[in-house]
Amino acid sequence: MGYEKQFNRFKQEGLIIGGQLYKSISESESKELVHLSPEDSRREKACSTGIVLPVNGTNSAFSTFLVTGLPGLESVHIWISIPFCAMFLITLMGNVSIMTIIWQEQTLHVPMYTFLAMLAFSDLGLSFFTFPTMLRIFWMDARELTFSACFTQMFFIHTFQDFESAIILAMAFDRYVAISHPLHYSSTLTNSVIAKIGLAIVVRTLSVQVPLPLLLRRLCFCHSNILSHSYCLHPDIIKLSCSDTRINSIFGLFVVLSTMGLDFLLILLSYVLILNTVLGIASHSGRLKALNTCISHLCAVILFFTPMICLAMLHRFGPRLPSLIYVTMANMHFLIPPVMNPIVYVVKTKQMQDKILKLFIKKIQKNPKSHL
């Protein structure tokens, strides 16, 4: 079968639109189509032999990636967008309110609330690089992302993901010092120490995240350009490459283990030490009071790490499930914490409730006519 005839067959079947491959085809069909194109044959041959080609519209078979909405629910995307839009608005309002209140109120300039403001900033960053892309898919079916845009989005998503993991670890250390060494709390977590912790988080995250998009630029993409999720993620991108991805996979695994994996183990260790201290408290009410100060943080840990761990276990040990299951669990990991963290901390922290109420009362008193 000639190249033109094969190309026209794919076009009639809706696999090729405007010269771009929009749906996955079998490997044999893909190779048949690619090999029969002299230019694409050069690209695939270069990729298969390990020749480094920078990712762009010339050296890869595609110039864009296609992100995916919710598989099987395309007909109701417009309705699904309503709760996602509400979640995005709640995320913006909740996290901006927390950061504003902590910034304005001098009484909240303590380590616990400083870390909470850092968590709110991280949640905002994560939501800015996930929600808009999903809403574009739901509202306009805008699925195309250039390589540069995709790699940039991937970098910021994983960067804020690592920020959040590290900040949750710092908050666990804060709870450990507050419960196990209350008399040394102020002297241990000084402003300079908190600044150093923040700097360490930034340096660690950037040192492991900056190489990821740089390493991706050496890959070729010539079989498919359809991503499994609504945004660009590192494991999802390297699956589409027809180059040797061993370096990318090994470094990606190292990044996950040395950041979120290590953070999770240290968080567990901190709670073992906290529990050991709490069990040593004589009074039952004292034990409950100590544990109650950790509930908000425990919720943040559960919201952030549980979907990620479950998704990893399903990929490694579970049966093959519909793609909607994996996409939903990934969305829970990236979208739910930014929405729920401000709600949890406001509901469980009386100081935050009082300050928010005070802020709204001030606004009403300043503009009484607008509330009539």
Q: What is the pLDDT of residue 335?
A: 92
Evaluate whether 21 touches 221 at the Cβ level (below 8 Å).
Answer: no
How many whole angstroms separate alpha carbon 13 and alpha carbon 250? 38
* Residue tagged 């919710």 (tokens): 70
Report residue 368 as tokens. Answer: 């009484």
Q: What is the pLDDT of residue 61?
A: 65
Q: What is the pLDDT of residue 3?
A: 40
Nearest to 141 by CA among 85, 77, 72, 80: 77
Q: Taking the mean position of all CA atoms in its chain, how far away is CA 237?
A: 15
Report residue 345 as tokens. Answer: 């901390």
- Cβ neighbours, 10 Å, residue 166: 24
How many whole angstroms separate alpha carbon 335 and alpha carbon 332? 5
Chunked into runs of 10 residues, the chain (372 residues) has average pLDDT values of: 45 42 42 45 51 46 84 88 95 93 89 95 95 92 91 96 97 94 91 96 97 91 86 91 90 94 96 93 86 92 92 74 85 93 88 80 68 49
- Cβ neighbours, 10 Å, residue 58: 10
- Phi/psi zone of residue 14: left (φ > 0), alpha (ψ -120 to 50 degrees), beta? left
Evaluate whether 245 touches 47 at the Cβ level (below 8 Å).
Answer: no
- Report the chain's C-alpha Rg in angstroms: 24
Pairing of strands 144-146, 20-21: unpaired
Q: How many helices (H) and strands (E) does the chain have?
A: 17, 4
Q: What is the pLDDT of residue 325?
A: 85
Q: What is the pLDDT of residue 300?
A: 94
Q: What is the pLDDT of residue 42?
A: 53
Q: What is the pLDDT of residue 353?
A: 81
How many whole angstroms separate alpha carbon 161 and alpha carbon 299? 17
Encode burial over 211-247: b for 16+ CB neighbours within 10 A, e otherwise.
Answer: ebbebbebbbbbbbbbbbbbbbbbebbbebbbbbbee
Residues 6 or more apart whose CB falls under 8 angstroms from that of 284 comprise: none
pTM: 0.82
Report residue 267 as tokens. Answer: 């968080």
Q: What is the pLDDT of residue 362?
A: 75
Evaluate whether 241 touches 221 at the Cβ level (below 8 Å).
Answer: yes
